[in-house]
Structure formats: C-alpha cells, structure tokens
Amino acid sequence: MTFTAASINWDAIATELAGIEAIADPNQLTKLSLDYYDFSPILAAQLGHKRANLVVRPTTEAEVLRVAQVCVNHRIPLTVRGAGTGNYGQCIPLDGGIVVDLTKLNAIHWLKGGVACVDPGVRLATFDKQARPQGWEWRMYPSTYRTATIGGFIGGGSGGIGSITYGQLRDRGNLHAVRVVTLEDTPRVLELRGDAVQQVNHAYGTNGIITQLEVPLAPAYDWAEAIVTFDDFAAAAQFGQTLSDADALIKKLVSIHADPIPQYFAALQTYIPAGKSCALLILAESSLAPLQDLVAEFNGAIAYTKPATDAQKGINLAEFTWNHTTLHARAVDPTLTYLQTFFFTLENVDKMIREFGDEVMVHLEFLRVNGKAIPAGLQLVRYSTPERLNEIIHYHEANGCAIANPHTYILEDGGRKVIDPVQLAFKEQVDPYGLLNPGKMRAWFEKYPPTA
C-alpha cells in the first residue's frame, strides 16, 4: 500500500515514542530530510521537495527497536540517516514517514587486535582521534571524514582516502561483522559475520538498520602531505600511476587534477600557478625523501609539503580530493556537475580527454582493485542537458570505462547495474512490508509494485 502521512495520528506516534528525542519543527525536518543530492541537477529536480514527517534520534539499540516496532505497527516508512553527507539522495525519504538519525548512537565499544567495535553514529574523525594513540586508524575514509558516520559510510559510501592501499569498502575483509535491526512483525537484532555482511553493505539502509559494526583497522603512520605540480596532465597522470604502483612508497592518497581544476581550490592558489596540473598526496613521512626522485623523473615540482607533526593544523589536502573536488568547483561555478568513473587504464583517460576536452575536466583518484592500482575519477562536467549528460556516460561505457552514475537515487542504477539477489532475499526476510527507505531498491519495487 502507498503510504499516506495524513492517515497517521502523529501525536499518538509521538506518545508511543515518548523518551526518544523527536523533531517535528519544519526547518529541522527540511535539514534532516536532505543530503548533498544537489551536486546532481537531475536529482535536484527530483528530490528537493521530499520531507520526513518526523525525525527521531535514538541513543541505544533498544530505542531503535522501539522505533522499528512503531513503524511496523503503523506501516510507516523508515529511512536511516547518519550525517546526511550522501550524494545520491540515499537518505532522502521519498515517501515521507520517519527518518531515524543515528548520530547519537555513537559509542566506541572496544579496539583490540586491529579491529574496532563501534556504534553506527560514530563520526570517522572522532574515532581516529581515539584510535591513533593506540597505533591504529580507519583503513579508508571519505573526504567528508570530519562529519560522516561509520554507519553512513558503510550504508552509502564506497571508498576514499586509503583505498589506494586497502581497496573499497565492499572488498572482503574490510567489514567483519554487523548487528542489524529488522522490521519484521516483532523487530529483532540479527548478527551478520563474514561474507554475510554483504547483505547490508552499501544497501542504502533498504534492508536493515545497522546498530553496531566490527571494522578492521590499519596501522597508523605519521602521515605527511604534498602538492606536486606538472606542466602537463599526461605527466601528472603517469606520475600518479607510477607512485600508486610503487609498493615501497607508503601512501594513503594519490589524487590527480588536470588544469584548470586546481584553479577552483582557493586555499591552494599560493602553491599551484595557473596552467598547471597537480597531484595531491598523503604519504608516510618516511616516504617523502624517496618521493623526490620520482617527482624529478616526471619533471614535476614539489610545491608544498606538510609534516606529520602539523597533521591537525592548516590545510587538509584530503578535503580537496574525492568529492570535495566537486564541492570546491561548485562553490565557484554551481552549474558544474560530476561523474564517477573507473577508467582502468591511462589510455582510456587519454581517449576521454580527446573526445570531451574541457567539457569533462579530469580528476583522477587512484585505488587498488584486485591487487592492481587503477585510475578512477570524479570528473567535473560542464552540464548542459540531461540528454548530453547521458551521451557522455554512454560514450565512456562504450569505450572501456565503467560509470557509477551519481545522477540516480536507485541503488542498482548507480554503481552496481544489476540486481543483487542476496540483498533482495535479505530484504524479503527482514522487511516484509517494504518500509525501509522505500523506492531505492529496484529489485524490490519491481517485484512488489506499490498499490494505490
């Protein structure tokens, strides 16, 4: 049945949820219903008006179970939210209902043997501050590190700073276990371990509310930062590939930006003259010395370095990479949008540059896929029409690249392209009424179309 908010007695719901923070103020509802969907002009038109009827902030798993029970009893849609930094409207409630904000479910339970057990609302940067003195840190994090939650990163993210060494979140071994609250007639908590975690990993909260996670960590190095400039992009890209392939140089970020993208980085203007392409790097401090010879080999120039002792001070280069590149560019020119592309080879990058020129400005992020460092990227696109955007996407796909389309809120139409029978089967088991983040999982709404 299609949900109608008017059929619900919201005062009665508030009474049933007494003791759990509930927000009904319209301004707050707007803020807590939306994410960074407006990086996409397509999603901006589709999602800007969507609102929850109520937002709740449970602080314990028991409170999450209570919210789940109320939603099941009254057949109210439930959409989980972390920090709301997702890019594809993942946590925007398409049918209204209750948004469950988990930022206050945020305890760090334990850290032992290089594994941490945490609540989903733990902010990524907050965790690292506590883990680093013990010699550990997250294996990877998005450029939204300071605000994003671990639950949201697992629910909606893919990888980021650290992926050059540890691959992507979906790779086996990057998530050990989760506890998940179901939306069955009597909601319960399930524990998933090993490959079973893939049932809810990157599922946009469509098939369970993650209430606890066991995440393996990385040894924490003393990380330094560097900007290297190049006269031409081809040299910058080759440098990026060679550094990414260099096993003996310890790194966490290899991010390459074609001219004119660096000109969008206001805070970096002192270091990157107009006309240059650049590499933004995070490396173990001990790798800075050998880096110099590699830079010389590609005729680059080290324009800036920040020692590990200054890690918490001044410019944070990570916040110019991954989708922060798009954020900075859009601050200057809001008509820009972006793509997310696996190029796989630098030949493919070159092919796309020759085809699209300045219409698609190349920003590469190197990451490890099945043991090999490959160029992926979040190119900036000078947007004109939806038809042209689709043409650009199809050209990439027809020429050896894979696009994780950031202009759709539907799970399967983004990166995956195919229906995941495992995630569908899990949803059938734990969310029989289809209440979790409705409208996001194609497999579900095609098999169980909503009735009037």
Ligand X SMILES: Cc1cc2nc3c(=O)[nH]c(=O)nc-3n(C[C@H](O)[C@H](O)[C@H](O)COP(=O)(O)OP(=O)(O)OC[C@H]3O[C@@H](n4cnc5c(N)ncnc54)[C@H](O)[C@@H]3O)c2cc1C
Residues near ligand X (CB under 6 A) are 35-36, 79-87, 90-91, 102, 120, 142-144, 148-149, 151-153, 155-160, 204-205, 209-210, 322-324, 327, 437
Residue for token digits 């796909």?
A: 397
Contact between 160 and 152 under an 8 Å Cβ cutoff? The reply is no
CB of 223 vs ligand X, minimal distance in Å: 16
CB of 421 to ligand X, least distance (A): 20
**DSSP calls for 193-223:** EGGGGGGTTTSTTSS-EEEEEEEEEEEPP-E
Instruction: State in angstroms the smallest separation of the CB of 260 from ligand X.
Output: 20
Query: CB of 439 within 8 A of CB of 92?
Result: no
| Shortest separation between residue 254's beta carbon and ligand X, angstroms | 13
263: DSSP letter: G
- Residue 416 identity: R
Nearer to ligand X, 223 or 230 (CB): 223
Phi, psi of 254 (to 5 degrees): -130, 100
| Least distance (Å) between residue 88 CB and ligand X | 8
- On whether the CB atoms of residues 257 and 317 are closer than 8 A, the answer is no
Q: Which is nearer to ligand X, 70 or 181 (CB)?
A: 181
What are the structure tokens assigned to 230, written together? 């190049």
Instruction: Select 353 or 441, whichever has its Cβ closest to ligand X.
Output: 441
Q: Check if the beta carbon of residue 443 is closer than 8 Å to that of residue 424.
A: yes
Q: Which is nearer to ligand X, 230 or 316 (CB)?
A: 316
Q: Residue 75 is encoded by which pair of tokens? A: 């057949």
| Closest chain position to ligand X (CB) | 152
CA angle (118 as vertex; 112, 119 as ends), nearest 5: 165
Minimum distance of ligand X from residue 12's CB (angstroms): 26
Which residue's CB is nearer to ligand X, number 151 or number 240? 151
Closest CA to 157 of 426, 406, 425, 443: 406
Closest to ligand X by CB, 84 or 439: 84
Closer by beta carbon to ligand X, 295 or else 341: 341
* 15: enclosing H helix or E strand: helix 10-16
**Nearest residue (CB) to ligand X, 152 versus 262:** 152
Which helix (DSSP H) or strand (DSSP E) does residue 363 occupy? Answer: strand 363-369
Residue 351 or 416: the one with the smaller Cβ distance to ligand X is 416
What's the closest the beta carbon of residue 182 comes to ligand X, in angstroms? 12
Minimum CB separation of residue 408 from ligand X in Å reads 13
* Closer residue to ligand X in complex, CB, 108/327: 327
Phi-psi region at 263: left, alpha or beta (left = phi > 0; alpha = psi -120 to 50): alpha
Q: How far is the CB of 94 from ligand X (least distance, A)?
A: 11
Residue 64 or 243: the one with the smaller Cβ distance to ligand X is 64
CA nearest neighbour of 92 among 56, 154, 50? 50
Q: Specify the residue, 300 or 375, whose C-beta has the smaller distance to ligand X.
A: 375
> Rounded CA gap, 14 and 21, in Å?
10
H or E element that contains 255:
strand 251-257
Whole-number minimum distance, CB 268 to ligand X, in Å? 16
**DSSP alpha helix (H) spans, 121-232:** 124-131, 150-156, 163-166
- Outline where 17-149 has alpha helix (H): 26-33, 41-47, 61-74, 124-131
Q: How far is the CB of 212 from ligand X (least distance, A)?
A: 9
C-alpha count within 13 angstroms, C-beta hemisphere, residue 80: 34
* Inter-residue contact 105 to 61 (CB < 8 Å): yes
Which two structure tokens, joined as six digits, stand for 134?
Answer: 């013990």
Kindly report the number of other CB atoms within 10 A of residue 333's CB atom.
11
